[in-house]
Chains A and B, each alone.
Chain A
Amino acid sequence: MHQAIRICNKELKDYFISPIAYIVISIFLLVTGWFFFTTFFYYNQADLRNFFGLLPITFAFLIPAVTMRLFSEEMNVGSYELLITLPVTFKDVLLGKFLAGVLFVAAALLPTLAYPICIAFMGQLDWGPVAGGYLGALLLGAAFVAVGLFSSSLTRNQIIAFVVGMAICFSLTLIDKMLFFFPNSLLGVIGYLGADFHFQNIAKGIVDSRDILYFLSVVFIGLYGTHLVMQEKS
């Protein structure tokens, strides 16, 4: 676990020393801020529903861009060989990189706390859905980071890693809006696979163990997939 934290530290440092973090976070704030506040006053309601409604789509873009380098770059440069021959296990490496990704998502969400605080001054804000929304956002972020890690482990090419990661995250977000393409018997199952569906549940302020379980399963499958891919490579 110590090793995982060291690796996580190093990855976070990498993000915040280079311009990546600042570029990605400012784009994230710009996009969410713009789309949220252009319609906010029109609805005249003191809640963050619109903000959380957009979050899965923005995350599906943003998170693969953040995670694409985690394995691809290391394999491309060859530094992965140095890392894995140090006294660390693959679990340490995987967990470290995963944690770094999740903390990055948290860092990107942190400035958006200004929205509910401002809104609380303007009207009667119900803090329940807000807290649920942020919890859901972290869970959703963690799931997408796991997916992004998986796609990053598939290839040495960061662009391919990004596109594949984005494709998977998009499918997870949009699949429950495409239900009319599927036969009736599958509707329940496929509806359940949608990340957006589970996220919106939590964002309403209803913390259901099924939704939490869904995100944890995606995290687990993503990380386990990465483990299998990297094992196959050695």
Chain B
Amino acid sequence: MIHVENLTKYYNEFCAVDRISVDIHKGEVLGLLGPNGAGKTTTLRMLTGYFMPTSGTIRVKDYLLDENLLEIKKLIGYLPESAPLYHNMLVFDYLDYVAGIRGLDKDQRAFRIRQLVDLCGLGEIMHRSINELSKGLNQRVGLAHAMMTDPEILILDEPTSGLDPNQIVEIREIIRKIGEEKTVILSTHILSEVEATCDRVVILNNGKIVADDHVENLKQTAGQKHFIHLELLNADFQKVCHGLNGIQGIENTEQIDETPGGSLKVRLACESAVDLRETIYQTIKQTSWVLIGFHQETKTLENIFRELTKED
């Protein structure tokens, strides 16, 4: 559907996006993830034709971006960050204007706007001026703008930024509904959002792709170690170290916390190939320590993200 090759963008000397190549397939919901300034917005702006790439090619369906920009624009619905709509227009006037530019004739316009009103929940605000709208409502009008012609590709730049939790859930619900049939690309730095809505995630850091995989795969493959947390009573760290380091597969033991007269918290770094939980339990059973906490740290997207985008 979308084929990006060696996409590069320089702002004067500063390299914002560095030789990105990615293929996006039809019907995929792709999350573009990265810390602030990683090049997410710049990448999206190049995909929509707002910025011209310094080098590299973008192909959407059979159209090349630098040759058939107008055709590509017709295929794409785009919602920029924080939905900068014309603030002096009424919501209805605005949607009507967009529908006109998108080439819908009078009857289609009325019909489509009514559909979008239902989909995005705009019923109450059609006659209000855009500058009176709250952030969340403004975002929904922006979403209606992007979906005006039911485009095949939807590009959303931080669609949930600045919304309250209820609104976030609503917008995600809408995105998921659209994502069943359309290709959706969304950028965000909220990890739970990616887990909730995306099939596939591309992590950017300093303008480069550092990971590109399905969310599940990424969780499994990233990182060589996993961690087990123990909370013990009646034990001191030296003895625990001595007792547990004998077990094969445990690479390192570290003390997290000790409350005087209370419990000792340790974290064990283990090779991920074997499950050591049983062995550890058996070892502890033979001592006089009292085990009051025992859990395995699951690889969250958050850990992976932090690992991949850590500054050296």
Asked if residues B100 and A6 are in contact (CB atoms below 8 Å), the reply is: yes
Q: Give every chain A residue within 8 A of B299 (Cβ-Cβ).
A: none
Chain B: which residue is nearest A10 at the CB level? B97
- Interface segment, one of A84-92, A108-116, A130-138: A84-92
A17 to B78, CA, bound (A): 28
Asked if residues A85 and B101 are in contact (CB atoms below 8 Å), the reply is: no
Q: Give every chain A residue within 8 A of B145 (Cβ-Cβ).
A: 82
Question: What DSSP secondary structure best describes chain A's contact surface?
Answer: helix
Asked if residues A86 and B73 are in contact (CB atoms below 8 Å), the reply is: yes
> Restricting to A1-27, which residues have a CB under 8 Å from any CB of B?
3, 6-7, 10, 13-14, 17-18
Asked if residues A79 and B97 are in contact (CB atoms below 8 Å), the reply is: no
* Any A CB within 8 A of the CB of B223: no
Known: A85-B73, A87-B74. A6 touches B97 (CB 8 A): yes
* Any A CB within 8 A of the CB of B86: yes
> Restricting to B257-292, which residues have a CB under 8 Å from any CB of A?
none
> Restricting to A63-103, which residues have a CB under 8 Å from any CB of B?
77-79, 81-82, 84-89
Residue tally, chain A, CB below 8 Å to B: 20
Q: Give every chain A residue within 8 A of B45 (Cβ-Cβ).
A: 81
CB 8 Å contact bits of B140-168 with A (1 = contact, 0 = none): 00000100000000000000000000000
Chain A: which residue is nearest B85 at the CB level? A79
> Restricting to B64-107, which residues have a CB under 8 Å from any CB of A?
69-70, 73-74, 76, 78, 80, 82, 84-89, 93, 97-98, 100-103
Known: A3-B101, A6-B97, A6-B101. A85 touches B84 (CB 8 A): no
Asked if residues A82 and B88 are in contact (CB atoms below 8 Å), the reply is: no
A234 to B52, CA, bound (A): 6
CB distance from A77 to the nearest CB of B (A): 5
Asked if residues B82 and A78 are in contact (CB atoms below 8 Å), the reply is: yes
CB distance from B148 to the nearest CB of A (A): 9
A84 to B80, CA, bound (A): 12
Asked if residues A86 and B84 are in contact (CB atoms below 8 Å), the reply is: no
Asked if residues B84 and A82 are in contact (CB atoms below 8 Å), the reply is: yes
* Any A CB within 8 A of the CB of B27: no
Known: A77-B87, A81-B45, A87-B70. A234 touches B50 (CB 8 A): yes
> Restricting to A220-234, which residues have a CB under 8 Å from any CB of B?
234
A85 to B85, CA, bound (A): 13
- B80 touches which one: A18, A81, A234 (CB < 8 A)? A81
CB distance from A11 to the nearest CB of B (A): 10
Q: Give every chain A residue within 8 A of B93 (Cβ-Cβ).
A: 13
CB 8 Å contact bits of B44-61 with A (1 = contact, 0 = none): 010011111000000000
The 6 sampled A-B contact pairs (Cβ below 8 Å) are A13-B93, A79-B84, A82-B84, A82-B85, A87-B74, A89-B69
Which 5 interchain pairs have the tightest Cβ spacing? A78-B84, A87-B73, A85-B48, A87-B74, A85-B78
Chain A positions within 8 Å of B, measured between CB atoms, are 3, 6-7, 10, 13-14, 17-18, 77-79, 81-82, 84-89, 234
